[in-house]
C-alpha cells in the first residue's frame, strides 16, 4: 500500500466513523427537545421520560463523536501537512467557529443533563434548544471547509501559493449553502428515520406501546420532512456541481462523451477502457434537464478533461447511484408515514408501515457514507479543486499503514462498545407498559 493510499484510507475510515455521530449530534438533540416540549405542554410524563432517555443517548454519542472528531483534527495536521500549510489561512476561521459551537454544545448539554430539577422548566428547555442549535451550527462550519475545497474562493494565488486571503469570502464559497443544506437535512432524515425504525421494531415486538408510539411520532416529526426535502436539496447541489465541477458530474453520471441532450443513467457500470457505461437504463435528455434545466444543454463528458484529472469513475458513479436509490426509498417511506398521519391513522397499528420503517432505518446513514464518498472521490485528484493535488498534500512520513491499522482496530472496538450501550438502553423499554 502506498503512503498516499494509506493516508487517504485512514482519513476515509476516520471520517466515515465520525460522520455518523456528527449526524446524530444534529438530529437527536432536536428530538430530545421536542419530546420535552410536548411533555411540558400536555402534562404527559411519558414524553418527559422519553426526553430523559434520549438525553442519555445523546451524552454517550456526543462523547464518542468528540473523541473521533479530535482524532480527525490531529489527522489533518499529521497526514496532510501540505493541505494545512496551503489552506490554513482560509480554513482556520470556520474551524475556530466550529470549536466555539462545539464547546457551547458541550456546556449546555451538561446543563441539560444535570439541571432537570435545579432550573426552571423554561430555562431547561432553552438549554436543550441551544444544544440542538449549536450542534447544527458546528456541522455547518465544518461543511464550509469542505465546500471551499470543492469551490475555492476568497484567495489570490501567486507562484502556486496563496498570497492574499479573504476568509469570509472563503467561507461563503458557492458550495457553502447547497452543501450545508444537504448535510443538515441528511442529519435530520438519517437520525429521525433511524430512531423511528428502532421504535417501529419495538412496536412490532409488542414492547411498551404507549412509550414507543410517542417516540415514533417525535422521530417522524424530525425525519420525515427532511427525507422528503432532501431530493430537492440534492437537485440544488447537482446543478452547482454541473457549473463548478463538470468532471465530477461526468463521473457521477458515467458520462464519457460530451454531448447535447445527455441522457440520465439509472444504474450501470462504467468501463473506462471502453469509455462506456454498461447495463444502464438511459432516460433521453434527462441529465441535461436536471443539470441545466434545458432540453438540449451540453453536458461535458470525461473526454473534455485530461485523463490525469479524471476521478475514479466506477466508484463515484456506483456510490452516487446507491445514494440516490436509498434517498428515494427514504422519501417514499416518509411520504407514506405522512399520508397515514394525515388520514389520522394510528401509526402504531400500521404493521406494513412499521415494517418499512424498520427495514429502512439504516438507509440514511448508509446514504450519508456513500454521499461523502461521492463528494471526496469525485473531487480527486484534487484536495482543493484546481489548486492543490492530493498527492502534493500528503505527509512524506513513511509507514502510514501502521497508524491505519491501529486506528481501524480502535474504531472497531469503540463502535462495538457504543452498539452494546445503545442496545442495552433500547432493551430497557422492551417490556409491556412499564413506563
The predicted-structure confidence for 298-310, as pLDDT tens digits, reads as follows 999 999 999 999 9
pLDDT of residue 435: 36
Per the prediction, the chain carries an average pLDDT of 91
Helix axes of 45-79 and 3-42: crossing angle, nearest 10 degrees: 160
Q: Is the pLDDT of residue 419 over 90?
A: no
Closest CA to 309 of 393, 391, 238, 394: 391
Could you give the CA distance from residue 153 to residue 151 in angstroms, rounded to a whole number?
6
pLDDT tens-digit readout, 200-215 = 998 998 777 788 899 9
Average pLDDT over every residue of 33-42:
93
Could you give the CA distance from residue 208 to residue 173 in angstroms, rounded to a whole number?
49
Q: Which residue has the higher pLDDT, 229 or 65?
A: 229
- Radius of gyration (C-alpha) of the chain in whole angstroms: 23
pLDDT of residue 385: 94
pLDDT of residue 432: 46
Give the count of beta carbons closer than 10 Å to the beta carbon of residue 349.
Answer: 12
pLDDT tens-digit readout, 359-397 = 999 999 999 999 999 999 999 999 999 999 999 999 988
Give the DSSP per-residue string, 94-108: HHHHHHHHHHHHHHH
CA 121 from chain centre, in angstroms, equals: 32
Q: 228 — phi, psi (to 5°)?
A: -75, -35
pLDDT of residue 60: 87
Mean pLDDT is lowest, of 29-33, 327-331, 397-401, for 397-401
Q: Is the pLDDT of residue 434 over 50?
A: no
- Going 267 to 270 to 276 to 279, the CA torsion angle's sign is negative
pLDDT tens-digit readout, 226-277 = 999 999 999 999 999 999 999 999 999 999 999 999 999 999 999 998 999 9
Residue that the C-alpha cell 427495514 belongs to: 359
Q: 261 — phi, psi (to 5°)?
A: 60, 45
Q: Which residue has the higher pLDDT, 230 or 159?
A: 230
Could you give the CA distance from residue 419 to residue 422 in angstroms, rounded to a whole number?
5
pLDDT tens-digit readout, 18-31 = 999 999 999 999 99
Kindly list the domain boundaries of the chain, sorted by start residue.
Answer: 3-427
Per-residue pLDDT band at 429 (split at 50, 70, 90): low
pLDDT of residue 123: 94
Per-residue pLDDT band at 430 (split at 50, 70, 90): low
Average pLDDT over every residue of 120-136:
94
Angstrom CA distances, 337 to 108, 334, 357, 433, stand at: 33, 5, 9, 24
Closest CA to 129 of 117, 112, 142: 112
For strand 281-283 and strand 264-266, is the pairing parallel, antiparallel, or unpaired? antiparallel
Could you give the CA distance from residue 51 to residue 58 in angstroms, rounded to a whole number?
10
Which triple of cell numbers denotes residue 290? Answer: 436536471
Per-residue pLDDT band at 65 (split at 50, 70, 90): confident
Give the three-state DSSP class for 210. helix
**Percent of residues, the chain, with pLDDT higher than 70:** 98
The residues with which 269 forms a beta bridge, in sequence order, are 278
**Percent of residues, the chain, with pLDDT higher than 90:** 70
Angstrom CA distances, 19 to 314, 371, 372, stand at: 23, 11, 9
Which triple of cell numbers denotes residue 216? Answer: 415514533
Q: 309 — phi, psi (to 5°)?
A: -100, 5
Amino acid at each position: 500500500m502506498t503512503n498516499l493510499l494509506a493516508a487517504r484510507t485512514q482519513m476515509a475510515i476516520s471520517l466515515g466513523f465520525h460522520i455518523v455521530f456528527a449526524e446524530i449530534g444534529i438530529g437527536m438533540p432536536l428530538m430530545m427537545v421536542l419530546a420535552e416540549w410536548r411533555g411540558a405542554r400536555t402534562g404527559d410524563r411519558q414524553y418527559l421520560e422519553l426526553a430523559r432517555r434520549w438525553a442519555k443517548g445523546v451524552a454517550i454519542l456526543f462523547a464518542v463523536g468528540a473523541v473521533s472528531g479530535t482524532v480527525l483534527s490531529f489527522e489533518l495536521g499529521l497526514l496532510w501537512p501540505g493541505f494545512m500549510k496551503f489552506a490554513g489561512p482560509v480554513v482556520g476561521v470556520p474551524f475556530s467557529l466550529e470549536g466555539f459551537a462545539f464547546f457551547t454544545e458541550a456546556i449546555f448539554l451538561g446543563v441539560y443533563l444535570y439541571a432537570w430539577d435545579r432550573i426552571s422548566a423554561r430555562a431547561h428547555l432553552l438549554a436543550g434548544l441551544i444544544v440542538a442549535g449549536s450542534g447544527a451550527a458546528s456541522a455547518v462550519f465544518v461543511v464550509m471547509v469542505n465546500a471551499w475545497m470543492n469551490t475555492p474562493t476568497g484567495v489570490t494565488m501567486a507562484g502556486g501559493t496563496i498570497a492574499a486571503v479573504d476568509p469570509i469570502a472563503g467561507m461563503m464559497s458557492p458550495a457553502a449553502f447547497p452543501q450545508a443544506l444537504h448535510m443538515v437535512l441528511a442529519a435530520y432524515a438519517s437520525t429521525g428515520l433511524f430512531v423511528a425504525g428502532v421504535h417501529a421494531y419495538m412496536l412490532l415486538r409488542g414492547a411498551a406501546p404507549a412509550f414507543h408510539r410517542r417516540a415514533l411520532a417525535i422521530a417522524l416529526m424530525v425525519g420525515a420532512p427532511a427525507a422528503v426535502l432532501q431530493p430537492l436539496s440534492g437537485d440544488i447541489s447537482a446543478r452547482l456541481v454541473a457549473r463548478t465541477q463538470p468532471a465530477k458530474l461526468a463521473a457521477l453520471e458515467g458520462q464519457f462523451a460530451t454531448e447535447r441532450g445527455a441522457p440520465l443513467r439509472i444504474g450501470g457500470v462504467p468501463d473506462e477502457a471502453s469509455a462506456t457505461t454498461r447495463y444502464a437504463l438511459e432516460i433521453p435528455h434527462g441529465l441535461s434537464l436536471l443539470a441545466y434545466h434545458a432540453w438540449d444543454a451540453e453536458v461535458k463528458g470525461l473526454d473534455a478533461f485530461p485523463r490525469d484529472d479524471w476521478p475514479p469513475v466506477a466508484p463515484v458513479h456506483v456510490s452516487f447511484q446507491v445514494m440516490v436509490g436509498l434517498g428515494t426509498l427514504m422519501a417514499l417511506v416518509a411520504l407514506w408515514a405522512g399520508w397515514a398521519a394525515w388520514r389520522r391513522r394510528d401509526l402504531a397499528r400500521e404493521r406494513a408501515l412499521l415494517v418499512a420503517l424498520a427495514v429502512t432505518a439504516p438507509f440514511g446513514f448508509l446514504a450519508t457514507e456513500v454521499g461523502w464518498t461521492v463528494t471526496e472521490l469525485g473531487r480527486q485528484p484534487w484536495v482543493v479543486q484546481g489548486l492543490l493535488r492530493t498527492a502534493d498534500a500528503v505527509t512524506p512520513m513513511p509507514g502510514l499503514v501502521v497508524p491505519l491499522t491501529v486506528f481501524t482496530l480502535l474504531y472497531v472496538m469503540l463502535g462495538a462498545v457504543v452498539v452494546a450501550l445503545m442496545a442495552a438502553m433500547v432493551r430497557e423499554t422492551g417490556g409491556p407498559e412499564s413506563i
